[in-house]
Amino acid sequence: MAEADHLYFSVRDEGCGFDVAAVESSGLENMADRLAAVAGRFHINSITSKGTTVVGGIPPDLGKRNRERIVKPALDMQRRSS
């Protein structure tokens, strides 16, 4: 799914679900932290006995920003050392 401000993805299961407020999960926290680090969005919806949906969104310019922030300086450093 795509909106003007973010490109969204979702993962859904029809498992047992859980109480989001009562669960501590480093995996879910890591997903939320990683998305927050790139100005992304993260949401969990879970209903006991119904399943869980995890929705994440990343800014559409993330690739461009990463090229400018990571790839370009690495290439510049490589050129200087050649």
- 2 is a domain residue: no
- 1 is a domain residue: no
Instruction: Report residue 74's pLDDT band, with 50, 70 and 90 as the boundaries.
Output: low
Q: For position 80, what pLDDT does the model report?
A: 80
Q: What is the pLDDT of residues 26-68, one digit of tens each?
A: 888 999 998 888 888 999 999 999 999 999 998 887 777 666 6
Q: Which domain holds residue 70?
A: 7-81
If one counts every other C-beta atom within 10 angstroms of the C-beta of residue 6, the result is: 18
- 39 is a domain residue: yes
Sheet holding 51-58, edge to edge: 7-13, 51-58, 41-47
Instruction: Report residue 3's pLDDT band, with 50, 70 and 90 as the boundaries.
Output: low
- 29 is a domain residue: yes
Q: What is the pTM (predicted TM-score) of this model?
A: 0.66
Instruction: Report residue 73's pLDDT band, with 50, 70 and 90 as the boundaries.
Output: low
Burial 24-58 (b: 16+ CB within 10 A, else e): eeeeeeebbeebeeeebebebebeeeeebebebbb
Type of residue found at 39: A
Domain CATH code at residue 31: 3.30.565.10
Number of structural domains found in the chain: 1
CB-facing half-sphere around the CA of 10: CA atoms within 13 A: 11
